[in-house]
Copies of this chain bind each other. A is one copy, B any other.
Amino acid sequence: MSTEMIDTPAEEPDGPAPASEPHTVIWQRPQTRGRGPRPAHTRESIAEAAVRLADEHGYEAISMRRIAAEVGSGTMSLYRYVPSKDDLLDLMIDQVVAEYDLPEAPSGDPRADLLDLARQGRALLHRHPWMVPAMSTVPSLGPNLLRHTDYVLGVLKATDLRPAEKFEAVALLSGGIRSFVEFELAQRLQEQRSGVSAQQRNQAQMAYLAAVVAEGRYPNLAEVAAESAAAGDDPEAARDFDAMFERFIVRSLGLAP
């Protein structure tokens, strides 16, 4: 509880008082710089270090203690810059979103523009796989995400979508990309990093699946698996995810002419 009675025991009735700022979005609380000793870091440098850490060691490496170690400070010092870990995650996401290469203006062909954005988005998620779990909740709109959204809305201007549908399109496209990459990464964990236990787990899954298929129930599954094996694409082989993505995203773009 933050709005309980103990806070701001007496408010000025007219004053433009900053009140107590009970709950503010990270983007509008200032980067202070006031009386005391000069801060050793900035939000940006901390977020940058956190992104580096997550890129190298994965989503689960994003902990306040490890980030603090990465920037070379005490754990609790981070809270001088960021009110909570969730806010730091917002900063990380927004920082990474800056990697989008947005044209000055839409080309006039919404389909082409959105397709380009989708490809960039997929590439971005590949560069920063931790983004997939990090985006699980709808992210708060930092400056870069706002720029991105604004650009997409500009692209959609050449469309006959109603306003609500435009927001909807933005969200669902991004969700679709995330969903696809999530699927893609899950398929790829076979030879990918995180090595030991993941490989074992996958192997156990494969063995179990084979056993179940051989068992006789699930005839359709058995049949399709057999066809698949006969077709030469054994389940361990790398599928053509690029082509898959193209088909998937083109289908999803049934919204623009």
Residues of A within 8 A of B (CB): 1-3, 22-25, 27-28, 133, 136-138, 140-141, 146-147, 149-151, 153-154, 157, 162-164, 166-168, 171-172, 175-176, 178-180, 182-183, 186, 195-197, 199-201, 203-205, 207-209, 211-212, 217-221, 223-225, 227-228, 231, 233, 239, 244, 248, 251-252, 254-255
Contact = CB atoms under 8 A, between A and B. Distances in A.
- Indicate how many identical chains form the complex: 2
Given A23-B200, A186-B137, A172 B179 contact: yes
A240 B187 CA distance: 35
A203 B2 contact: yes
Nearest to A106: B220
Contact of A200 (B22, B197, B231): B22
Taking chain A's interface residues, is the majority helix, strand, or loop, or is none over half, making it mixed?
helix
Contacts of A154: 220
23 contacts: A2-B199, A24-B204, A136-B136, A138-B182, A140-B205, A141-B208, A141-B209, A146-B212, A146-B218, A147-B218, A150-B218, A163-B227, A163-B233, A164-B231, A166-B224, A172-B180, A172-B183, A172-B248, A175-B180, A179-B179, A251-B251, A252-B252, A254-B254
Nearest to A233: B164
Contacts of A168: 239, 244
Contact of A219 (B27, B150, B203, B218): B150
A7 to B, nearest CB: 10
A163 B221 CA distance: 10
Most chain B CB inside 10 Å of its own CB: which residue of A168, A183, A217, A220:
A220
